[in-house]
């Protein structure tokens, strides 16, 4: 299969051109030194981050993932999740172990899905154990030729995608205890505190007088970042693939897997300005250019910035209002949902739990269990981690973090197959049913926050709900919603292809050596 766009590779940073929506995506090991430290990574196309996959609203995506991994110190199988895409009628293409068995080395799998009604900023990543922490992650952008905000910006292309990630000098599977990143990478480049001070930093070029739609994507495994650009303010217009009314701020705290679009007016003096992404864990600050990149006005010297600045107006989640159809589903009071679920988040003996149960990936994906005829939560595995949800109902989830907020928190939770309305965000004491922010990843905040979300069950299938700190997911921080299980295989759903049926027998036959990473996922 030929790519729809040329993929050019950089020996240091990420891809120089986008690909898609019909493309091959080779998964390969590559030695790279994005922060000056050389190690082998698991990559999409040989770069950190992987190439930007692009398409238009309504497109058919056909992405042929080819597993060419050979470094057995890390996992050799893989699966790819298309983060934020609803996968309506194609639940089998969601990419999590809930929905498929992994792709074994020397095999491939074609993800074939449509994106009706979705445009915005998304991303893709491995959904096998902690593999994406070893590099397998990249942005996915769906453009809308009829974007209602087209008149607000002049430039929106590959050059305006900004990825934030954490970089580890040891393979993720070798990290013992709390994972502390060695460096922050912005668009695949960065520096670590004790490393070479001349390691290249990412440079984003702008022309004075133009307006840019920047798409900020946290592809982090763990830390959240406070993002800012010296001497510039932002007008935020999109949150996790959902258009919102414009809000002005000069910084944003962005959690793992969250995305924002903001418009930046290049209205400052022609010069170089620091782009900053201060992490919540690891080495904070900006000494010798750590946690930094460069905004360079065309005509400015090829030099590092000398600017200084401290943001004073951080974006507040409570100020964000969806552009289209604002308001939570259900009646606008605390008892207005059809079903209420209180999720007690816990930690015990090194494992994270939800309502007292650690999630352990089943040997048979939940979707395959459903197709095979198991329809009730009591029948579906893993026991205690599958919750049945009826179709066409308003679901209200409350996250009780009283015992875990201080253990690696705040914890960002992601729901597959949906976005949701955050009727009580972190830091709020009141509920907002009329104009809550709408997104697909939410910070569960501090020990007393009781963050609460609502969503409508209009997408049949098994869907993962999990902490997007990948090390916490590996330690059990997840559940599965079996949404309208009886409808997940009903007419109108695209049946899984034969290649999907073949994934499990191939994967189940692998030896520990063929699994790699010390014998495969540990949980």
| pTM of the predicted protein model | 0.95
Q: How far apart are CA 404 and CA 399, in angstroms?
A: 11
Catalytic residue (one of 141, 414, 420, 479):
414
Active-site pick, 22, 254, 472, 479:
472
Catalytic residue among 27, 477, 479, 481: 477
83 is catalytic: yes
Q: Is 466 labeled as catalytic in the residue annotation?
A: yes
Is 477 labeled as catalytic in the residue annotation? yes
The distance of Cα 344 from the centroid of its chain, to the nearest Å, equals 23
Q: Which of 22, 27, 41, 83 is catalytic?
A: 83
- pLDDT tens-digit profile of 155-195? 999 999 999 999 999 999 999 888 999 999 999 999 999 99
**Residue 125 catalytic?**
yes
- Catalytic residue, chosen from 399, 467, 471, 479, is 467
Coil/strand/helix, residue 414: strand
Q: Which is the catalytic residue, given 127, 232, 244, 418?
A: 127
CB 197 within 8 A of CB 108: no
Q: Write the CB contacts of 352 (distance below 8 Å, at least 6 apart in sequence).
A: 345, 346, 358, 404, 467, 472, 475, 476, 477
Full pLDDT tens readout for the chain, 523 residues: 333 333 333 334 444 579 999 999 999 999 999 999 999 999 999 999 999 999 999 999 999 999 999 999 999 999 999 999 999 999 999 999 999 999 999 999 999 999 999 999 999 999 999 999 999 999 999 999 999 999 999 999 999 999 999 999 999 999 988 899 999 999 999 999 999 999 999 999 999 999 999 999 999 999 999 999 999 999 999 999 999 999 999 999 999 999 999 999 999 999 999 999 999 999 999 999 999 999 999 999 999 999 999 999 999 999 999 999 999 999 999 999 999 999 999 999 999 999 999 999 999 999 999 989 887 878 899 999 999 999 999 999 999 999 999 999 999 999 999 999 999 999 999 999 999 999 999 999 999 999 999 999 999 999 999 999 999 999 999 999 999 987 766 667 899 999 999 999 999 999 999 999 975 554 4
Catalytic residue among 162, 469, 471, 479: 469
Residue 232 annotated as catalytic: no
Is 414 one of the annotated active-site residues of the chain? Answer: yes
Q: Which helix or strand (DSSP H or E) is residue 121 part of? A: strand 120-126
Catalytic residue status for 81 = yes
Residue of 48, 81, 162, 186 with catalytic role: 81
Q: Over the Cα atoms of the chain, what is R_g? A: 22
Gap between the Cα atoms of 45 and 27, Å rounded: 6
Q: Which residues contact 445 (CB under 8 A, 6 or more apart)?
A: 401, 405, 409, 410, 425, 426, 427, 451
Catalytic residue among 214, 411, 456, 481: 411
**Whole-number Å distance between alpha carbons of 62 and 2:** 11
On whether the CB atoms of residues 293 and 203 are closer than 8 A, the answer is yes
Domains and CATH numbers, the chain: 22-143 (2.60.40.420), 161-322 (2.60.40.420), 339-490 (2.60.40.420)
Q: Considering 468, 471, 479, 481, which one is annotated as catalytic?
A: 468
- Residue of 22, 141, 466, 471 marked catalytic: 466
Maximum C-alpha span of the chain: 66
371 is catalytic: no
To the query of whether residue 469 is one of the catalytic residues in this protein, the response is: yes
Using CA atoms, how far apart are residues 374 and 277, in angstroms rounded to an integer?
Answer: 46
And the tokens for 174? Answer: 């070798």
DSSP states of 366-425 = HHHHHHTT--STTTSSSTTSEEEE-SS-EEEEEEE-TTTTTTT-SPEEEETT--EEEEE-
Q: Compute the C-alpha angle 340/341/347, nearest 5°.
A: 160
Report the alpha-carbon distance of residue 260 to residue 431 in Å, rounded: 23
Catalytic residue among 19, 41, 125, 423: 125
For 217, the enclosing helix (H) or strand (E) is strand 211-218
Q: Which of 225, 244, 354, 416 is catalytic?
A: 416
Q: What is the dihedral of CA 428, 434, 435, 437, to 10 degrees?
A: 60
């Amino acid at each position: 299969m030929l790519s729809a766009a040329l993929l050019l590779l950089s020996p240091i940073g990420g891809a120089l051109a986008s690909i898609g929506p019909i493309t091959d995506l080779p998964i390969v090991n590559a030695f790279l030194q994005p922060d000056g430290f050389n190690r082998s990574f698991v990559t999409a196309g040989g770069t950190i981050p992987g190439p930007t996959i692009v398409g238009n609203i309504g497109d058919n995506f056909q992405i042929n993932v080819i597993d060419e991994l050979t470094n057995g110190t890390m996992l050799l199988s893989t699966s790819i999740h298309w983060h934020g895409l609803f996968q309506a009628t194609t639940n089998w293409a969601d990419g999590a172990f809930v929905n498929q068995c992994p792709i074994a080395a020397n095999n491939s799998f074609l993800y074939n899905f449509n994106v009706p009604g979705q445009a915005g900023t998304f991303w893709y990543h491995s959904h096998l154990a902690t593999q994406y922490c070893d590099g397998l992650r990249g942005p996915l952008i769906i453009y809308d030729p009829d974007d209602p905000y087209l008149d607000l910006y002049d430039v929106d292309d590959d050059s305006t995608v900004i990825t934030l990630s954490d970089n580890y000098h040891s393979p993720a599977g070798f990290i013992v205890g709390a994972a502390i990143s060695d460096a922050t990478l912005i668009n695949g480049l960065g520096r670590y505190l004790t490393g070479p001070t001349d390691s290249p930093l990412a440079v984003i070029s702008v022309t004075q007088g133009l307006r840019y739609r920047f798409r900020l994507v946290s592809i982090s495994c763990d830390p959240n970042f406070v993002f800012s650009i010296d001497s510039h303010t932002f007008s935020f217009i999109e949150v996790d693939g959902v258009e919102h009314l414009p809000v002005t701020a000069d910084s944003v705290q962005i959690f793992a897997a969250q995305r924002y679009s903001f418009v930046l007016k290049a209205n400052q003096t022609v010069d170089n300005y620091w782009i900053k992404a201060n992490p919540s864990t690891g080495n904070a600050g900006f000494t010798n250019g750590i946690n930094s990149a460069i905004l360079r006005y065309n005509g400015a010297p090829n030099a590092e910035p000398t600017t200084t600045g401290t943001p004073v107006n951080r974006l507040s989640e409570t100020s964000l209002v969806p552009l289209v159809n604002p308001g939570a589903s259900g009646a606008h009071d605390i008892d207005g949902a059809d079903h209420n679920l209180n999720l007690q988040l816990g930690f015990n003996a090194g494992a994270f739990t939800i309502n007292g149960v650690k999630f352990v990936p089943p040997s048979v994906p939940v979707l395959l269990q459903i197709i095979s005829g198991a329809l009730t939560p009591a029948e579906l595995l893993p026991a205690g981690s599958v919750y049945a949800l009826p179709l066409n109902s308003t679901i209200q989830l409350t996250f009780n973090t009283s015992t875990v907020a201080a253990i690696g928190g705040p914890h960002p939770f992601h729901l597959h197959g949906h976005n949701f309305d955050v009727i009580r965000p972190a830091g709020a004491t009141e509920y907002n049913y009329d104009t809550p922010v709408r997104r697909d990843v939410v910070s569960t905040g501090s020990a007393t926050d009781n963050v609460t979300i609502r969503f409508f069950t209009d997408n049949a299938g098994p869907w993962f709900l999990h902490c997007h700190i990948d090390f916490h997911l590996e330690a059990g921080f997840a559940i599965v919603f079996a949404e309208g299980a009886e409808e997940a295989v009903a007419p109108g759903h695209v049946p899984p292809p034969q290649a999907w049926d073949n994934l499990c027998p191939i994967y189940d036959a692998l030896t520990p050596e063929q699994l790699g990473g010390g014998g495969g996922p540990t949980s």
